[in-house]
Amino acid sequence: MDLISIRDLDRKTVERLLDSADAIANGKKKPDMGGKILATLFFEPSTRTKLSFQSAALRSHMGYLDFDPETSSLRKGESFADTVRTVEGYADVLAIRHPKEGAARLAADFASKPVINCGDGANQHPTQTLIDLFTIRRCKGRISGLNVTLLGDLKHARTMRSLVCGLAMFGANVTLVSPEGLEMDQAYVDEVKGRFDFKVTARNEPDYRNADVLYVCRIQQERFADPYEAKKITEKFMVKKEAIEAAREDLVILHPLPKVNEIEAAIDGMKQAKYFDQAHYGIPVREAILEYALG
Amino acid sequence: MDLISIRDLDRKTVERLLDSADAIANGKKKPDMGGKILATLFFEPSTRTKLSFQSAALRSHMGYLDFDPETSSLRKGESFADTVRTVEGYADVLAIRHPKEGAARLAADFASKPVINCGDGANQHPTQTLIDLFTIRRCKGRISGLNVTLLGDLKHARTMRSLVCGLAMFGANVTLVSPEGLEMDQAYVDEVKGRFDFKVTARNEPDYRNADVLYVCRIQQERFADPYEAKKITEKFMVKKEAIEAAREDLVILHPLPKVNEIEAAIDGMKQAKYFDQAHYGIPVREAILEYALG
Amino acid sequence: MDLISIRDLDRKTVERLLDSADAIANGKKKPDMGGKILATLFFEPSTRTKLSFQSAALRSHMGYLDFDPETSSLRKGESFADTVRTVEGYADVLAIRHPKEGAARLAADFASKPVINCGDGANQHPTQTLIDLFTIRRCKGRISGLNVTLLGDLKHARTMRSLVCGLAMFGANVTLVSPEGLEMDQAYVDEVKGRFDFKVTARNEPDYRNADVLYVCRIQQERFADPYEAKKITEKFMVKKEAIEAAREDLVILHPLPKVNEIEAAIDGMKQAKYFDQAHYGIPVREAILEYALG
């Protein structure tokens, strides 16, 4: 079973995946895939996604192979199709990351083994979204009806597009907060609204006093022509301890990591900061995904 | 037991290896090497040979270590002998690839653990040859008496030299087809003829209407001084759909991969194209080789 | 349990570790860590330390993950603390090497999982010291009272500082032999003398006629301003076959490897040369360390 986009999954399937990850995280379920092999094919680096999948494979009694395109035949001019067709013969499931949109679905077409999309360009990153939904549900007991604020550069962040779709599926109230010019593509938001019944509002001011969940992503200085402007805006959108103390006491702060300076370091030690837990939940969720993919 | 050159093996040993690989490919035999460790020492990159060996190790219940000379002590001036003597202490069997001819045999002299040659310069690549023989035998039921055409740059292709020796051992009829100036070294062909009773003919025209097996390898444009000439010749030797349709219906087309444009893409989907199967057969054949090496 | 510096361990703990490694080396003990995961985080390359730990992990029925900072989020500006906090969620024990002194202890503060120091700058390299002590004890039956000569650049060699502390703990008689200007830091030697009752003398002449153990480390030509002077000194301190034949017959020669030209190649085949054994003892010693850390 391929996992290419969160949009291919219905709510029931997502819930089954989250339930399975829950059982694994609680130690109630220990998948044993009997020595099956995961091949990671990362055409652009993403250390933690790769390590997290390899760790999940080891935890599930699988081995892993790491295909490194840098030193590979691709440099001799081999086609993407040929690479996928060859490597799939060495493994039982392929985890692919690629800088180009659609690459994962293309690979799934070529391969007879299951393909897991670990991010294709600005398009989808479904395993991250499943981790995000899992973390929210585990911290808050539910997703439906929660006020979830997404904050940062919503135009370029791949994880945010996938996440909006996941939150919509579960009926969360989504607030999109971004600097002017870095809003999430309106056509995409409209399309999600057409598919799911959920509330979504957009804003250019960082305000999350009413949020149950605050999901932060990076604003890269390179997005702005004027360095002074860039500094002013990243400073304005930086999450500060003071603001968190003024927000709901049971606020949950998430971040896909790595973070640089979008969250004040003093927040790391606060009970609201759940982003390291979120990273660690990557293991049980990806164990559940491997089990799903393999069958 | 070392595996350095196909020329060190007698026909009986090769047949035993192919039989063993057959049993593994059919699921009738599942080697369990009980956690023994393979170390890959690749002094030049060859992604698929390495991955294929690592996959075979995992399938045989072994672990693997990947020694990367790029980031290693070699750069601090350590001798090849010292590297081999050190790394062999970490593993049970060494798979070595090296740009210099004779490096694998040298390593086998230094090491007390078994050494498998994964290609040493333009010299030998015995595990590829075993895969090639295995694929031919599996696709055609035998090797003896088959018309096997080797097509491409036979002067520089390492796999072809090993393969001629393997085909000669089994009494195939070999036709060597290459552009003028890229013929296989005549002294080498004569030496193989002196050792085995087999037919071999050479030709500079791409004609394989009578072939049971067509084994294609690359012709690098860089081999020609004149780019126009290069283009003309690679075009002339390119395997085209039309020519395959005019050849024997049960023709088997092989290629060591990666391929670039020496085989028309439309052929990939034809039943004659067996090069991806050939790549996948690398796993059972290398499982058989690991078992042979470890004893 | 962290392992940051040999100075954190008392003699009893060291002896227990060496005994455990002995049992493993003799095949009397086969640790089974039940699929636990080692993550290697090497912020500077050290191929053999890393491979040796990975091999020890495989031998102890563990898996390993290799975190490569080169292709990682660190380059996106992530803090060392965040990296450690994230990666520890993927594994059960972390083996860290870092160019900066104190980095391992810092990591141990951030991490809730055990941290093993695999070398932090010019500071400590405790697992190498345990291997050195193990090798001496295994070759000579004891450490106490032995004449151990350390020869080379004792100013910069990290392993030598750790080793002096280990030898002092066991009451060896240590002779420090180095070129002028490359002596071990006197304040450090004095501090160790203040902690342990042992004899230590220093000298600028390479003389080891009275030594039971000769531990050689490199003298880098780059340490000298004048290339002619450099050549003269490295030549003078090079260990030669002739000198070994004039030394004690049961002399044991050690070296942390890789070596370049500080030991004459002809010595490699002599029974006094124990440096490859020393490298191979890295596996049982590190198996014992993993058990200690996880236990």
Alpha carbon separation from A38 to A121, A192, A258, B9, B50 (Å, rounded) = 22, 32, 24, 34, 15
Taking 80 as the threshold, does the pLDDT of residue A70 lie above it?
no
Is C255 assigned a catalytic role? no
Cα C93 from chain centre: 20
CB contact (8 A) between residue A260 and residue C77 = yes
What residues have CB less than 8 Å from A141, skipping those under 6 apart? none
Pick B122 or A264 by higher pLDDT.
A264
H, E, C per residue of C269-280: HCCCECHHHHHH
CATH superfamily of A126-279: Aspartate/ornithine carbamoyltransferase (3.40.50.1370)
- Which of C82, C88, C92, C94 should we substitute to test contact with A (largest number of A Cβ atoms within 10 Å)? C82
Q: Measured between CB atoms, does B109 come within 8 Å of chain C?
A: no
CB contact (8 A) between residue B258 and residue A82 = yes
Q: Is C46 exposed, middle or buried (0-12, 13-18, 19+ CB in 10 A)?
A: buried
Using CB atoms and an 8 Å cut-off, which of residues 14-73 of chain C contact chain A?
35, 37, 39, 63, 65, 67-68, 71-73
8 Å CB contact between A91 and A37: yes
- Which ranges in chain C belong to alpha helices (H)? 11-25, 47-59, 80-87, 103-110, 126-140, 158-169, 186-195, 227-237, 241-246, 275-280, 282-294
Distance of residue A60 Cα from the nearest chain C Cα, in angstroms: 10
Which pLDDT tens digit goes with each residue over C234-266?
Answer: 999 999 999 999 999 999 999 999 998 899 999
Alpha carbon separation from A290 to A52, A128, A225, C171, C275 (Å, rounded) = 12, 14, 43, 55, 44
Give me the residue from C47, C265, C282 closest to B71, CB to CB: C47
Domain boundaries, chain A: 6-124+282-293, 126-279
Query: Which of A87, A286, B81, A260 is CA-nearest to residue C78?
Result: A260
Q: How far apart are CA C237 and CA C151, in angstroms?
A: 8
Q: Is C108 exposed, middle or buried (0-12, 13-18, 19+ CB in 10 A)?
A: buried
Which tokens hold the place of C107?
């990591």
AA identity, residue B105: R
Which residues in chain A are closer than 8 Å to B260, comparing Cβ atoms? 76-78
Confidence of residue B132 (pLDDT cuts 50, 70, 90): very high
The length of chain C is 295
Confidence of residue B47 (pLDDT cuts 50, 70, 90): confident
Which tokens hold the place of B73?
């002590």
Predicted local distance difference test score (pLDDT) of residue A223:
79
Which residues in chain B are closer than 8 Å to C279, comparing Cβ atoms? 85-86, 89
Taking 90 as the threshold, does the pLDDT of residue A229 lie above it?
no
Pick C74 or B245 by higher pLDDT.
B245
Taking 90 as the threshold, does the pLDDT of residue B110 lie above it?
yes
Which pLDDT tens digit goes with each residue over B176-224?
Answer: 999 999 999 999 999 999 999 999 999 999 999 999 999 999 888 777 8
Taking 80 as the threshold, does the pLDDT of residue B71 lie above it?
no
- Catalytic site residue from C50, C98, C125, C138: C125
Which tokens hold the place of C195?
């902690």
Partners for C (CB, 8 Å, 3+ pairs)?
Answer: A, B
ipTM of the complex: 0.94
How many other CB atoms are there within 10 angstroms of residue C136's CB atom? 27
Catalytic amino acids of B?
A: 48-49, 76, 97, 125
Q: How far apart are CA C6 and CA C18, in angstroms?
A: 13
Beta bridge partners of A213: A148, A252
Taking 70 as the threshold, does the pLDDT of residue A33 lie above it?
yes
How many other CB atoms are there within 10 angstroms of residue C12's CB atom? 8
Classify the C-alpha dihedral A167-A171-A176-A181 as positive or negative: positive
Give me the residue from C55, C258, C260 closest to B90, CB to CB: C55
Alpha carbon separation from B188 to B11, B98, B125, B183, C51 (Å, rounded) = 19, 21, 15, 11, 40
Is C48 assigned a catalytic role? yes
Predicted local distance difference test score (pLDDT) of residue A72:
60
Distance of residue A195 Cα from the nearest chain C Cα, in angstroms: 35
Ranges of residues in chain C with a pLDDT under 50 are: none
Q: Measured between CB atoms, does A82 come within 8 Å of chain B?
A: yes
Give me the residue from B51, B59, B258 closest to A76, CB to CB: B258
User: Whole-prediction pTM value?
Assistant: 0.95
| DSSP letter for each residue of B187-222 | HHHHHHHHHS--EEEEESS---TT-SEEEE----GG
Task: Specify the pairing of strand A93-98 against strand C63-67.
Answer: unpaired
Catalytic amino acids of A?
A: 48-49, 76, 97, 125
Which tokens hold the place of B232?
């003309």
Q: Residue A216 belongs to what H/E stretch?
A: strand A213-216
Beta bridge partners of B214: B149, B253
Query: Does domain C6-124+282-293 fall into CATH 1.20.140.70?
Result: no
Confidence of residue A95 (pLDDT cuts 50, 70, 90): very high
Distance of residue C96 Cα from the nearest chain B Cα, in angstroms: 16
Confidence of residue A247 (pLDDT cuts 50, 70, 90): very high
Is C248 assigned a catalytic role? no
Q: How far apart are CA A130 and CA B257, in angstroms?
A: 37
Alpha carbon separation from A219 to A126, A203, A274 (Å, rounded) = 21, 16, 20
Q: How far apart are CA C85 and CA C76, in angstroms?
A: 16
Give me the residue from B73, B79, B81 closest to C48, CB to CB: B73
- Which ranges in chain A belong to alpha helices (H)? 11-25, 47-59, 80-87, 103-110, 126-140, 158-169, 186-195, 227-237, 241-246, 275-294
Partners for A (CB, 8 Å, 3+ pairs)?
Answer: B, C
For A9-32, letters b (16+ CB in 10 Å) and e give beeeebbebbebbbbbbeeebebe
Which residues in chain C are closer than 8 Å to B40, comparing Cβ atoms? none
- Catalytic site residue from C11, C48, C195, C231: C48
Average pLDDT of chain A to the nearest whole number = 94
Is C125 assigned a catalytic role? yes
Please work out, in degrees rounded to the nearest 5, the angle formed at the alpha carbon of residue C54 by the alpha carbons of C50 and C60.
Answer: 145
Q: Do the first three CATH levels of C6-124+282-293 and C126-279 match, i.e. the same topology?
A: yes
What residues have CB less than 8 Å from B106, skipping those under 6 apart? B80, B81
CB contact (8 A) between residue B47 and residue A65 = no
Q: How far apart are CA A54 and CA A38, in angstroms?
A: 8
Give me the residue from B47, B55, B282 closest to A71, CB to CB: B47
Which tokens hold the place of B245?
């349709």
Predicted local distance difference test score (pLDDT) of residue B73:
55
8 Å CB contact between C239 and C232: no
Query: Which of A169, A185, A80, A91 is CA-nearest to residue A133?
Result: A169
Which tokens hold the place of B198?
């087999």
Q: How far apart are CA C118 and CA C61, in angstroms?
A: 21
Which tokens hold the place of B197?
């009773």
CB contact (8 A) between residue B72 and residue C259 = no
CB contact (8 A) between residue A58 and residue C65 = yes
Partners for B (CB, 8 Å, 3+ pairs)?
Answer: A, C
Q: How far apart are CA C157 and CA C153, in angstroms?
A: 6
